[in-house]
Chain A
Amino acid sequence: MTETGQQKSHFEWLVKTYFSDPSRRLSVKKDEIIIRQGHYNNRLYLILEGEFQGYIQTETGIQKDSLRAGANNFIGVQSFFSKTFISMATMKALTDCEVAYIDRNQAVVPTDFMTSLEQQFMPIVVEDLMRRSNKMTELNQERGQALTKLIETEKMASLGQLAAGIAHELNNAIAVLARNTHWLMERYNAAIKNKMTHTIFNIGLMQGRIYSSREVRERGKMIAEKYSLSKEKAILLGQTGLDDEILKSYKNRLEEKAEEIYNLWELGATFNDMLIASEQSTHVVNSIRALGAKHTARIPGLDINESINNALALLRSKLSSVHVQLKLRKVPAIIGNMGEFVQIWVNLINNACEAMCHLVNHNHKLNISSSATSANIIVKVKDNGLGIPQKSIDAIFQPNFTTKIHGMSFGLGLGLSIVKRIVNEYKGTIDVESARTGTTFIVKIPVGGENEET
Chain B
Amino acid sequence: MKKPKIICIDDQREVLAAIKKDLDMFTPAFNVVDCESAAEADEILNDFADEKEEVAVIICDHIMPGENGIDFLTRLNKDQRFLYTKKFILTGLANHSDTIQAINEAEINAYLEKPWDKEEFVSIVKKLLTRFVVESGMDSDELVAYLDQATLDREIKRKKHQW
Contact = CB atoms under 8 A, between A and B. Distances in A.
Question: A and B: partners?
Answer: yes
B63 A214 contact: no
Interface of A: 209, 212-214, 266, 269-270, 273, 276-277, 317, 320-321, 353, 356-357, 360, 362, 364, 405-406, 408-410
Given A209-B17, A321-B65, A406 B12 contact: no
* Pairs of residues from A and B, 5 with the lowest C-beta to C-beta distance, nearest first: A273-B14, A209-B13, A357-B65, A213-B35, A213-B34
A212 B118 CA distance: 25
A214 B66 contact: no
Interface in B85-102: 93, 95, 97
B15 to A, nearest CB: 9
Contacts of A273: 14, 17-18
Interface of B: 11-14, 16-18, 21, 34-37, 39-40, 63, 65-66, 68, 93, 95, 97
Nearest to B3: A232
A273 B68 CA distance: 24
B40 A214 contact: yes
Nearest to A211: B13
Contacts of B13: 209, 212-213, 317, 320
A78 B40 CA distance: 80
A213 B68 contact: no
Given A273-B17, A317-B13, A410-B93, A212 B36 contact: yes
Contact of A214 (B11, B35, B97): B35
Contact of B14 (A214, A276, A406, A410): A276
A361 to B, nearest CB: 9
A229 B40 CA distance: 25
Contacts of B35: 213-214
A405 B14 contact: no
A269 B16 CA distance: 12
Nearest to B65: A357
30 contacts: A209-B13, A209-B14, A209-B17, A212-B13, A212-B36, A213-B16, A213-B35, A213-B40, A214-B35, A214-B36, A214-B40, A266-B17, A269-B17, A270-B17, A277-B14, A317-B12, A317-B14, A321-B36, A321-B37, A321-B65, A353-B65, A357-B66, A360-B66, A362-B65, A364-B65, A405-B95, A406-B95, A408-B68, A410-B93, A410-B95
A408 B63 contact: yes
A335 B102 CA distance: 51
A277 B13 CA distance: 11
Contacts of A270: 17, 21
Contacts of B37: 321, 362
Contacts of A269: 17
A213 B66 CA distance: 16
Nearest to B95: A406
Contacts of A317: 12-14
Contacts of A277: 14
Nearest to B31: A232
Contact of A362 (B18, B21, B66, B68): B66
A362 B21 CA distance: 29
Contacts of B40: 213-214
A405 B97 CA distance: 11
A209 B34 CA distance: 13
A321 B63 CA distance: 14
B11 A321 contact: yes
A214 B47 CA distance: 13
B112 to A, nearest CB: 18
A362 B92 CA distance: 22
Contacts of B21: 270
Contacts of B39: 362
A230 to B, nearest CB: 13
B146 to A, nearest CB: 18
Contacts of A266: 17
A317 B15 CA distance: 11
Nearest to B39: A362
Among B37, B39, B65, chain A packs the most CB atoms within 10 A around the CB of B65
B17 A213 contact: no
Contacts of A353: 65
B97 to A, nearest CB: 7
A273 B13 CA distance: 9
B5 to A, nearest CB: 13
A276 B63 CA distance: 20
Contact of A406 (B63, B93, B97): B97
A277 B12 CA distance: 11
Contacts of A362: 37, 39, 65-66
A28 B92 CA distance: 70
A213 B63 CA distance: 18
Most buried by A among B37, B39, B66, B68: B66
Tell me which of A320, A356, A405 has the highest count of chain B C-beta atoms within 10 A of its own C-beta: A320
A258 to B, nearest CB: 14
A213 B21 CA distance: 15
Contacts of B66: 357, 360, 362
